[in-house]
């Protein structure tokens, strides 16, 4: 036997030995399934757990899974032909692929050294998947930390209710520092319970094995969809996504994530409020945001989109009727909007290397203010529609065409620079070029320039305008002809691309005039607020807090992973509003800022989470829980001419102000049954199926919600007539 053969033989022996160990451990494993009716602890002393029947974590029950625990779940081949047969409930018959059905909660908190494993039993069966961990609408807050989820797929509850995801989330959950590998969906939700809160921070999502080619839907890393009536808050921060696509719904903050691989990065079907400080590399459709006209706005800021020169990347797409603010992004590809959307696009750098026929830099057709942007090496640098409100102080350099087909619509380009482009115009709208106080290095024969004080420069003059034109540094140099050469100093935002003051006397002649281009020469910087946020009781940093100045949604930043944050603001006095999921909102009143100076602050935020620990195998919480139920459910009239009735029973752990309200499935309040101070203990109230006007409601699903201080619980009931 030669040396290579001996080495291969040794490897095979080791693999065979490991396989025998795995088979031996499976043979001595604990098989689990059925209902957990009391608090239960799974620990690594009993590894591995074999889930051979559906696990039901019943109402008011906690399954605590200790660090190092390994859970192997029965699976089946998943594709279009098998999922209805092997991944569906058929009457009382369980699916072949097993799952967790959680009406109580799971606390699975591993450590970095001892993670918790959820995987399939059939380790050597490619494309075999187990079902899901279903956190139902009635579930309590579950927590997963340092867990590894492998090979999950979907479960069909009935013909109209299909759930997907290693975590199929329909109520509040915290998912922290977990790995999601080869799952059809990593984390998913559809129509979650009222006031659901979801925190997904520091996780890793990837597809290695892939999904069976006979499966139509290849799935997503995260798919969070909720209806617009829900007051959900969802925090997606500091995660890493490989070769997967994410779609988000209502009221979401997507912060400091990394996306790698082609497909879709962030696809918003409804309204993520904030897409901030994310990084995309070789993602075909990095950000696609949609919103309806009655929604408050989507704010896309400080994201970086990069791609290889041969990679097709669409950049940022703004769809439908929504309001968007897109600022301070570095974008490979372009920024494109629908004609019905509106907002502001400012302080962005849009580029491609080399010039591609596939990309337009800024292609904005809605009601937009467009200012302080730099666009280079795109097919058409700037294309606008007739609805655009203003286009000011942009730098459009070294593109194939400076202006696209709808750039001649009666909207004046003011104080902008168009030089180094192969052509100034592509497919003009009419025979007039609307520019005012702009620098251009060519004109189009046969077209009239409508606007005063434009400067046509030659190639020799370009290097005297910028600090370093060849190296894409478009700050103005000393004695640049663009200094104090602009127009109309009244209708501009008060900052340049560096957040220096926008209107400044750069040539020292005693009169402050706006400069041409995206930078104001030698203007003073805004002041800064820097700060840190910690938790009141523990003193640990509070990460990824949303901070808004004077509670204005568009003047915002986020704290980083260590609770540090920074604002740039003109001199003045401001209130800082801090907001984060699972914390009480906090306001810092009257923070003074001076130009070119730094103000340092720090403050605490109060957590709203109960502490969870294990004591002698029993789960204890720092807060007792509200118990809530109704009977009968479903309920209907008990006799001719009688109103339907159901009794809502609730147990209060402490004295306090109690409110019980009924909502319809659209989230609209139907009536309030109780709003009083009450003593701890067991109580009940009857709802007779009447609204606040004492009129009978129609058949359907209704939500009943109890609030006691910071605690609340929501459950469903069905009215049949």
Mean pLDDT, residues 34-44 taken together: 95
Lowest-confidence range among 16-20, 155-159, 160-164, 700-704?
16-20
Mean pLDDT, residues 161-170 taken together: 90
d(C-alpha 29, C-alpha 96), whole Å: 19
H helices of 343-479, where?
459-462
CATH topology agreement for domains 528-605 and 624-719:
yes
CA nearest neighbour of 667 among 232, 271, 264, 79? 232
Kindly indicate the confidence band of residue 612, based on its pLDDT and cuts at 50, 70 and 90.
Answer: low
The pLDDT of residue 199 is: 95
Q: What angle do CA 147, 148, 149 make, to 5 degrees?
A: 115
d(C-alpha 586, C-alpha 583), whole Å: 9
For residue 355, pLDDT beyond 80: no
Mean pLDDT, residues 657-684 taken together: 89
How many Cβ atoms from other residues are within 10 Å of residue 572's Cβ? 14
Structural fold of domain 624-719: Immunoglobulin-like (2.60.40)
d(C-alpha 436, C-alpha 681), whole Å: 74
**Average pLDDT value over all residues in the chain:** 86
The pLDDT of residue 621 is: 43
The pLDDT of residue 359 is: 76
Lowest-confidence range among 37-41, 251-255, 405-409, 513-517?
405-409
d(C-alpha 98, C-alpha 86), whole Å: 9
The pLDDT of residue 271 is: 56
Q: Which pair of structure tokens corresponds to residue 15?
A: 């693999």
* 440-476 per-position pLDDT tens digit: 987 766 677 888 889 999 888 888 999 999 999 999 9
- 11: buried, middle or exposed (CB in 10 Å: 19+, 13-18, 0-12)? exposed
The pLDDT of residue 512 is: 93
The pLDDT of residue 273 is: 83
Matching residue, tokens 């004695």: 479
Q: What is the DSSP letter of 81?
A: T
Whether 550 and 574 have beta carbons less than 8 Å apart is answered as: yes
161 bridge partner residues: 158
For residue 227, pLDDT beyond 60: no
Mean pLDDT, residues 225-251 taken together: 72
Mean pLDDT, residues 292-312 taken together: 83
Which stretches does DSSP call E strand in 632-668? 646-652, 656-664
How many residues are listed for the chain in this entry? Answer: 721
Mean pLDDT, residues 229-244 taken together: 79
d(C-alpha 394, C-alpha 409), whole Å: 17
Kindly indicate the confidence band of residue 8, based on its pLDDT and cuts at 50, 70 and 90.
Answer: very low
* 181-196 per-position pLDDT tens digit: 999 899 998 778 778 8
Nearby residues of 636 by Cβ (< 8 Å), 6 or more positions away: 644, 719, 720, 721
SS3 621: strand
Instruction: Write down the domain spans for the chain.
Output: 1-225, 242-330, 333-524, 528-605, 624-719
Kindly indicate the confidence band of residue 391, based on its pLDDT and cuts at 50, 70 and 90.
Answer: very high
Q: What angle do CA 151, 239, 169 make, to 5 degrees?
A: 55
Q: Which pair of structure tokens corresponds to residue 195?
A: 């006031």
Which stretches does DSSP call E strand in 406-447? 413-414, 417-419, 423-425, 432-436, 439-440
For residue 233, pLDDT beyond 90: no
Most confident of 15-19, 39-43, 419-423: 39-43
Q: Does an H or E element contain 24, and which?
A: helix 3-27
For residue 681, pLDDT beyond 80: yes
Mean pLDDT, residues 335-348 taken together: 93
Assign domain 528-605 to a CATH class: mainly beta
Matching residue, tokens 């910087």: 525
The pLDDT of residue 18 is: 44
Cα distances (Å, whole numbers) of residue 214 to 83, 155, 244: 11, 17, 18
Cα distances (Å, whole numbers) of residue 169 to 105, 172, 374, 496, 628: 11, 7, 42, 44, 20
Kindly indicate the confidence band of residue 616, based on its pLDDT and cuts at 50, 70 and 90.
Answer: very low
d(C-alpha 509, C-alpha 214), whole Å: 73
The pLDDT of residue 131 is: 96
For residue 168, pLDDT beyond 80: yes
Q: Positive or negative, the Cα torsion across 493, 497, 501, 505?
A: negative
For residue 82, pLDDT beyond 90: no
Q: What angle do CA 421, 424, 428 make, to 5 degrees?
A: 145
Q: Positive or negative, the Cα torsion across 203, 208, 211, 217?
A: positive
Mean pLDDT, residues 656-671 taken together: 86
Q: Which pair of structure tokens corresponds to residue 375?
A: 């666009």
* 583-600 per-position pLDDT tens digit: 999 999 999 999 999 999
Lowest-confidence range among 144-158, 502-516, 638-652?
638-652
């Amino acid at each position: 036997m030669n040396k290579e053969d001996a080495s291969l033989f040794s490897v095979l022996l080791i693999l065979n030995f490991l396989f025998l160990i795995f088979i031996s451990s499976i043979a001595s494993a604990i098989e689990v399934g059925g209902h957990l009716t009391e608090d239960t602890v799974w620990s690594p002393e009993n590894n591995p757990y074999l889930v051979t029947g559906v696990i039901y974590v019943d109402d008011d029950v906690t399954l605590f899974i200790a660090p190092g625990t390994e859970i192997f779940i029965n699976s089946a081949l998943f594709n279009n032909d098998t999922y209805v047969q092997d991944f569906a409930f058929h009457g009382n018959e369980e699916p072949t692929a097993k799952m967790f059905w959680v009406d109580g909660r799971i606390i699975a908190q591993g450590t970095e050294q001892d993670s918790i494993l959820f995987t399939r039993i059939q380790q050597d069966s490619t494309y075999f998947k187990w079902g899901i961990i279903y956190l139902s609408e009635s579930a309590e807050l579950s927590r997963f930390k340092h867990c590894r989820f492998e090979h999950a797929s979907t479960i069909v509850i009935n013909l109209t209710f299909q759930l997907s995801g290693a975590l199929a989330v329909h109520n509040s959950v915290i998912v922290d520092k977990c790995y999601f590998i080869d799952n059809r969906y990593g984390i998913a939700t559809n129509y979650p319970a009222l006031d659901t809160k979801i925190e997904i921070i520091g996780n890793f999502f990837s597809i290695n094995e892939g999904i069976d080619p006979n499966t139509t839907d290849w799935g997503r890393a995260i798919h969070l969809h909720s209806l617009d009536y829900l007051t959900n808050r969802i925090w997606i921060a500091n995660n890493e996504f490989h070769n997967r696509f994410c779609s988000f719904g209502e009221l979401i903050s997507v912060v400091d994530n990394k996306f790698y691989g082609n497909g879709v990065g962030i696809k918003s079907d409804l309204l993520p409020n904030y897409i901030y400080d994310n990084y995309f590399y070789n993602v075909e459709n990095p950000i696609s945001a949609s919103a309806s006209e009655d929604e408050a706005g989507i704010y896309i800021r400080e994201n970086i989109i990069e791609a290889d020169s041969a990679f097709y990347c669409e950049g940022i797409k703004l769809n439908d009727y929504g309001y968007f603010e897109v600022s301070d992004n570095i974008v490979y590809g372009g920024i494109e909007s629908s004609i019905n959307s509106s907002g502001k696009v400012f302080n962005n750098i849009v580029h491609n290397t080399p010039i591609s026929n596939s990309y337009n830099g800024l292609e904005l057709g809605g009601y937009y203010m467009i200012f302080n942007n730099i666009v280079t090496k795109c097919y058409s640098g700037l294309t606008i529609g007739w609805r655009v409100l203003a286009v000011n102080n942009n730098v459009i350099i070294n593109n194939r065409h400076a202006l696209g087909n709808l750039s001649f619509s009666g909207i004046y380009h003011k104080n902008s620079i168009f030089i180094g482009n192969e052509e100034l115009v592509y497919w003009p709208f009419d025979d007039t070029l609307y520019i005012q106080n702009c620098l251009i290095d060519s004109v189009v024969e046969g077209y009239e320039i409508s606007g005063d004080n434009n400067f046509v420069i030659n190639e020799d003059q370009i290097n005297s305008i910028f600090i370093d034109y060849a190296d894409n540094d478009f700050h103005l140099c000393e004695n640049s002809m663009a200094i104090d050469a602009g127009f109309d100093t009244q209708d501009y935002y008060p900052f340049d691309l560096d957040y220096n003051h926008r209107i400044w006397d750069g040539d020292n002649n005693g009169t402050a005039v706006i400069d041409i281009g995206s930078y104001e020469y030698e203007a003073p910087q805004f002041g800064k607020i820097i700060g840190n946020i910690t938790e009141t009781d523990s003193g640990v940093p509070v990460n990824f807090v949303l901070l808004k100045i004077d509670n204005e949604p568009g003047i915002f930043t986020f704290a980083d992973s260590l609770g540090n944050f920074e604002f740039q603001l003109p001199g003045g006095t401001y209130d800082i509003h801090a907001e984060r999921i699972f914390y009480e909102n906090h306001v810092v009143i009257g923070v003074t800022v001076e130009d070119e100076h730094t103000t340092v602050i720090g403050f605490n935020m109060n957590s709203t989470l109960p502490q969870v620990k294990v004591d002698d195998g029993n789960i204890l919480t720092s807060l007792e829980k509200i118990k809530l139920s109704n009977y009968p459910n479903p309920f209907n009239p008990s006799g001719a001419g009688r109103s339907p009735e159901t009794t809502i029973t609730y147990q209060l752990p402490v004295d306090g102000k109690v409110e019980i309200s009924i909502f319809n499935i659209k989230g609209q309040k139907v009536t309030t049954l109780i709003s009083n101070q009450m003593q701890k203990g067991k109580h009940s109230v009857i709802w007779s199926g009447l609204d606040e006007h004492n009129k009978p409601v129609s058949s359907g699903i209704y939500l009943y919600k109890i609030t006691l201080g910071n605690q609340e619980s929501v459950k469903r009931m069905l009215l049949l007539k």
